[in-house]
Structure 1
Amino acid sequence: MASKQIASHVNTSAPNQDVERIGSQLEEENHEELFDYSKRAQWLRAAVLGANDGLVSTASLMMGVGAVKPDIKSMILTGFAGLVAGACSMAIGEFVSVYSQLDIHLAQMKRQNNINNNIKQDQDQKETLPNPVQAAAASALAFSFGAIVPLLAASFIKDYKLRVWVVLAAVTAALLVFGWVGAALGRAPWVRATVRVTVGGWVAMAITFGFTKLIGSSSVLG
């Protein structure tokens, strides 16, 4: 009798557990489908663009200078100057941009609240507004993170040709990673994102290298 009761209990509880598990899975899937990935657009744009700009602009500067001055010191100093200048430029630009956006939001909220007289809604809206300081810091850090890649790749290689190929390989790998990460976080097609980012980086480096080589070999600079 006891064994029958136990068996009956197991038989009735197992389907309930299956239903609960299936319900939990469906809830997670629904949450995944309903999540608005466009909410990530602001910080994702700042982070991905900052890292990509740091990577491509610094590598392009190093390639350009390397086209006329193959010594390692010139390339490293150029890359470091590009890192510092670019990080400061990104931070200031993002700060001004987000602050302008914040001013527009606050002005619109003030006009709406003068009509609605809703103080609680005003406080709730202010909590969701962008932070210029955070955006500036994120852009500067992301740019620096990207710029470090070609600097590290070139720092310990004295041979010029080998140094150029190592920098190109490191930048290509980083571009593929940045493209994939950006697509994954935004739930966008990763193949197109990685190809677009990688090819764009190659084009920027090739143009900088070619024009600098052309000007350096001509009589323009004496």
Structure 2
Amino acid sequence: MALGDTKLPLEGVEGQAPDVGEQDYTQRAQWLRAAVLGANDGLVSTASLMMGVGAVKDEPKAMIISGFAGLVAGACSMAIGEFVSVYAQLDIEVAQMRRELQTKGDGASTDRLPSPVQAAAASALAFSLGAVVPLLAAGFISNYKVRLGVVAAAATVALVVFGSVGAVLGRAPMGRSCLRVVVGGWAAMAMTFGLMRLFSVSAL
């Protein structure tokens, strides 16, 4: 038998090849989960801020302005934080690629390098989408008590949606995931409302 015809046993080697489809799904799921978390953050922080202002002032304008200010400030903060974080990750991966190029003569592909600008824009957009929910809920209601109730109800519905999406992406029990998200959102809104109400009473 010629040397070129020799076949080495490859049993078990083929199964070790990386599943490209699974890797792509994992990366997409990570991006979507980050977007859901950003939207949830925007929803809870803005709704809590509006509830806190509503505990002190019953004017709809005050709640809406505070909510819009929270949207802008939160989106900018999320974008800057994500940009700095992803840029640090990019520097680490580029340095690793350079080391591999020097030692092995072959570096990894640059197609999968993270984009700080894209990450910052996605984070700001996700936060803004979540923050818009309580703003739209309170924007057309003049009655004070009804407005507070509608903001809390709209935030609850959105929290259930975000919790469900997060459970699907994370392959976790949906009921438990939704319960955690809703209870956390309620706690944030209740604590902000209660502390601001206490502060307004004690200040007077």
TM-score computed with the length of structure 2 as normaliser: 0.85
1:102–1:46 CA distance, 2 compared to 1 (3 A): same
**Structure 1: 5+ residue runs without aligned partners?**
1-33
Equivalent positions of 1:54-133 (< 5 A) are: 54-118=42-106, 121-122=107-108, 124=109, 126-133=110-117
Equivalent positions of 1:1-222 (< 5 A) are: 35-36=22-23, 37-118=25-106, 121-122=107-108, 124=109, 126-219=110-203
Q: Which moved more, 1:137-146 or 1:107-116?
A: 107-116
Task: Give the deviation of 1:48 after TM superposition.
Answer: 1.2
* 2:82/2:119 contact within 8 Å kept: yes
* 2:46/2:134 contact within 8 Å kept: yes
Amino acid at match of 1:129: L
* 2:33/2:169 contact within 8 Å kept: no
Task: Give the deviation of 1:35 after TM superposition.
Answer: 2.8
* 1:48/1:178 contact within 8 Å kept: yes
Runs of 4+ in 1 over 4 A off after TM superposition: none
> Which SS does the other structure have where 1:35 is aligned?
helix
Distance 1:107 1:116 in 2: 14
Task: Give the deviation of 1:107 after TM superposition.
Answer: 1.0
> Which SS does the other structure have where 1:70 is aligned?
coil
Distance 1:41 1:211 in 2: 37
Task: Give the deviation of 1:195 after TM superposition.
Answer: 1.1
1:58–1:208 CA distance, 2 compared to 1 (3 A): same
Identity %: 68
Structure number with greater Rg is 1
Distance 2:80 2:92 in 1: 18
Task: Give the deviation of 1:173 after TM superposition.
Answer: 0.2
1:125-152 Cα deviation digits (max 9, x unpaired): x111111111111111111100110000
1:126-184 Cα deviation digits (max 9, x unpaired): 11111111111111111110011000000111111111111110000000001111222
Count of aligned pairs: 184
Q: Which moved more, 1:36-45 or 1:67-76?
A: 36-45
Let me know the Cα RMSD of the aligned residues: 1.7
Distance 1:149 1:217 in 2: 29
Amino acid at match of 1:207: M
Amino acid at match of 1:168: A
* 2:35/2:126 contact within 8 Å kept: yes
The structure where helix makes up a greater share of residues is 1
**Structure 2: 5+ residue runs without aligned partners?**
1-20
